[in-house]
Chain A
């Protein structure tokens, strides 16, 4: 069994390479595919019947037979097989395509006539299974079937797969394709593939083309070449050194991005706390749960707008702010204002509140995590080059964090509320004497801090699990950031959050995630010993 599948894997890989090459040649030569004529029903049945086997190798051959056949349905069959929707009646001879496999009862169509064929379930329809090798193989077949309308993008993909895969058998045809190719980018790829082949054959002049190339296949091939001896090896080593040092720079850039992204999450989680704890001096242990409420708001809005995760996410920004803010005002009115100046009791009361909020969510929405979908524009990565790519969801959160920070800073700096908050912070009695309604300012400030926590929840819903325990993981980190940055200072929170994020990510590859966190914690404790006021000392009243 084991050896079989091993051999099967190699076999498939060879076949894949073969079909890709064929595809590329087809493409570049712009051969028109012969129009497929329909096959008779028994023939179609026989083609499908061949798929009904347990061996993936045999299934691959059956799929290849379909691809090579004249059947007009073949693209749809292969696509359905790839999607896991092609199957056979369990106790019968009918072949079906499942048109919608989301429920437990599936609507079916006949695989040969495409006529509607009632419904079925796992019990009645045996879906043809595929594995990783077969999946790759099928993708290759479907790609080469649609080559006639193959655009530059698919030619580029085919050329890309050739890097490291050029050999004596196909080198001439690749050269021919390179001559015919019109697109410069595709030509560059083919040049690299050919140069790599020439280097493998001992041609040192081809090394020039490979200079500074970041593709890992180029690096791996050169490593093998450089391991030999002679002039070629030392020249290859030089090129390799250049590649490695270039990669090292991109690695540093990537670590910096990872750090800023981790930092932006810390800043988002902490900045609401910087307002409630830093400005008002309230130790709010329920801050994490306010973040959780923001995340659940995102989920609820997505439930209300099925199929539109992007719109839901945009609406969740004001939604999360308002829901968490309303809870914040409620907490301030009912609990915190009665405990003014009694920090220990505030701490205990808000800790109790956090447990109540968690259990509330657990009872209302079940203890299971909820899935918040990411809109398409936050999925995947921005591929800058072969060595550097930035994931879009992290990039989005980083941008969002900076926006929230800017808005908050402007609010504190330029609005009447901001002025009043600063006045109350600096001297409460004096501010009241000047006619500022301190109680109202307290309520609004707390509501603002809570609302910003809700915004953090909206952002976190894109990165981590939305569940009742979401907030717990961020409360300690948030206090850490606020204390490190300097209590009552927004800039301090930004700088502290970002630097802790970067330090953590720089340490992580060396010492592991657990130890990195410990080192950061010890570092902050030592720093606070030396400089109790944090990075930025608070201006005005020091409490």
Chain B
């Protein structure tokens, strides 16, 4: 054996030892729990809606751990409370994604404002965020998966349904922030493209938590009494809905006169209202608690058992988290790792069952396929589904009805990897493919 060979041998041995020394703790980390961040407000105005989603995530994680965990490891929830403060969402997302205890995925947010605050953080620190609420679209991030409805999965089909019912006049009422404004902009463009005159569209915005609805409802009543069948499209958010519906009932506006179709009113919101005078008013969602499927009954039973409240209700964003969580599990299993880039690639095309007896698929634009349903409010606070799309609809990140975005698409698959691709000019404006 020559000295050179001997040196080589020693060097290799040393290298191996060093490598082994390095890889030991790495392996140990892989044996530890997988951390799942839950970023929902547990206090402040949004606590009404978001605190249930936190509980739901804890239930789903608990179920998964009882079923053996993921990749042989246990899941560990990491719960934070951003207290309905948009900038605190960003701070807490940052702390979840840095340090030794970095989470592998985040499920969170409700309002668009909070999502917009978290977006740059998850992009910078390469995190994964599953966002479960219907939103205004016009966004596609490499690091966010949108399991709620885009406008083409909720607003547009709802308007189509009402047009089919003979509605010719439209009152678009919304809370004054980004989601209602963008949605109404899309709807206005859509209605005008379908020959509705300017005079037959009324738009009105009110602040968060608005409660003095008398003059607005009276204006709607007047607007609806001009001889043409009228409907209200409501993007009113949060607890402003309760006084709004009460005022409708008190001023005697029935669903047979002027139906109201709401995009932000679900089973949870109706628990605060006496629904007897509201029977027949509509909501458009991708899931209702009253949907007839065994998966749904099992989910409700599990939720009732978990909360210990026999009157507990479930709603559409809960289904979105259910789908998102199962998609993430499946993607991690097929990638064999929780590594963010691997999961991002593996999740596109993943199909999991939804709660209404069908299935949801993750599309290349990070939106999912969903059935669209129209439900009528019943006197027990539930919705009865009166119309449903025959197949599922894929979410469209960029609306086809706005001039600024009609040529845009999003596709995060290799080699395109672009969240904002102008198909006319074939220019990528945002994403890894943008150069």
B48 touches A368 (CB 8 A): yes
A391 touches B251 (CB 8 A): yes
A132 touches B376 (CB 8 A): yes
B214 touches A258 (CB 8 A): yes
Q: Which of B212, B225, B252 contacts A381 (CB 8 A)?
A: B252
Taking CB atoms and an 8 Å cut-off, the chain B residues in 355-398 that contact chain A are 376, 378-380, 384-387, 390
Is B196 positioned at the interface, with any CB of A under 8 Å from its CB?
no
A5 to B166, CA, bound (A): 9
A104 to B314, CA, bound (A): 14
A258 to B251, CA, bound (A): 12
Is A102 positioned at the interface, with any CB of B under 8 Å from its CB?
yes
The closest CB in chain B to the CB of A380 belongs to B250
A254 to B219, CA, bound (A): 11
B146 to chain A minimum Cβ distance, whole angstroms, is 26
The closest CB in chain A to the CB of B163 belongs to A2
Is B32 positioned at the interface, with any CB of A under 8 Å from its CB?
no
B218 touches A258 (CB 8 A): yes
A336 to B290, CA, bound (A): 53
A465 to B211, CA, bound (A): 8
Q: Which of B42, B164, B273 contacts A2 (CB 8 A)?
A: B164
A102 to B277, CA, bound (A): 17
Q: Which of A5, A261, A368 contacts B387 (CB 8 A)?
A: A5
A104 touches B310 (CB 8 A): yes
Q: Which of A216, A362, A392 contacts B43 (CB 8 A)?
A: A362
B165 touches A465 (CB 8 A): no
B211 touches A473 (CB 8 A): yes
Give the segment of A63-71, A271-279, A509-517 that binds chain B.
A509-517
Taking CB atoms and an 8 Å cut-off, the chain A residues in 461-514 that contact chain B are 463-465, 467, 469, 473, 505, 508-509, 512-514
Whether A389 touches B212, Cβ cut-off 8 Å, given contacts A122-B297, A362-B43, A469-B45, is no
Residues in B neighbouring A216, C-beta threshold 8 A: 225-227
Taking CB atoms and an 8 Å cut-off, the chain A residues in 143-188 that contact chain B are none
B250 touches A514 (CB 8 A): no
B217 to chain A minimum Cβ distance, whole angstroms, is 9
Whether A391 touches B243, Cβ cut-off 8 Å, given contacts A129-B385, A465-B272, is no
A392 to B215, CA, bound (A): 15
A56 touches B386 (CB 8 A): yes
* Residue tally, chain B, CB below 8 Å to A: 62
A393 touches B250 (CB 8 A): yes
| Chain B 242-263 interface mask (CB, 8 Å, partner A; 1/0) | 1100110111100110010000
Is A6 positioned at the interface, with any CB of B under 8 Å from its CB?
yes
B236 to chain A minimum Cβ distance, whole angstroms, is 12
Is A367 positioned at the interface, with any CB of B under 8 Å from its CB?
yes
A514 touches B206 (CB 8 A): yes
Is A131 positioned at the interface, with any CB of B under 8 Å from its CB?
yes
The closest CB in chain B to the CB of A83 belongs to B379
Q: Which of A122, A261, A467 contacts B239 (CB 8 A)?
A: A467
B239 touches A255 (CB 8 A): no
| Chain B 156-181 interface mask (CB, 8 Å, partner A; 1/0) | 00001101111000000000100000
Whether A514 touches B205, Cβ cut-off 8 Å, given contacts A126-B292, A255-B215, is yes
Residues in A neighbouring B297, C-beta threshold 8 A: 122-123
B216 touches A514 (CB 8 A): no
B166 touches A6 (CB 8 A): yes
A359 to B47, CA, bound (A): 12
Is A135 positioned at the interface, with any CB of B under 8 Å from its CB?
yes
B227 touches A369 (CB 8 A): no
Is B65 positioned at the interface, with any CB of A under 8 Å from its CB?
no
A221 to B226, CA, bound (A): 10
B225 touches A369 (CB 8 A): no
B279 touches A135 (CB 8 A): yes
Top 3 nearest A-B pairs by Cβ distance? Answer: A220-B227, A216-B225, A464-B211
Between-chain CB contacts (< 8 Å), 11 pairs? A1-B387, A56-B386, A129-B384, A130-B384, A135-B280, A216-B226, A261-B214, A262-B214, A369-B272, A370-B272, A514-B206
Residues of A within 8 A of B (CB): 1-3, 5-6, 9-10, 56, 83-84, 101-104, 122-123, 126-127, 129-133, 135-136, 216-217, 220-221, 223-224, 254-255, 258, 261-262, 265, 359, 362, 367-371, 373-374, 379-381, 383, 389, 391-394, 463-465, 467, 469, 473, 505, 508-509, 512-514, 517
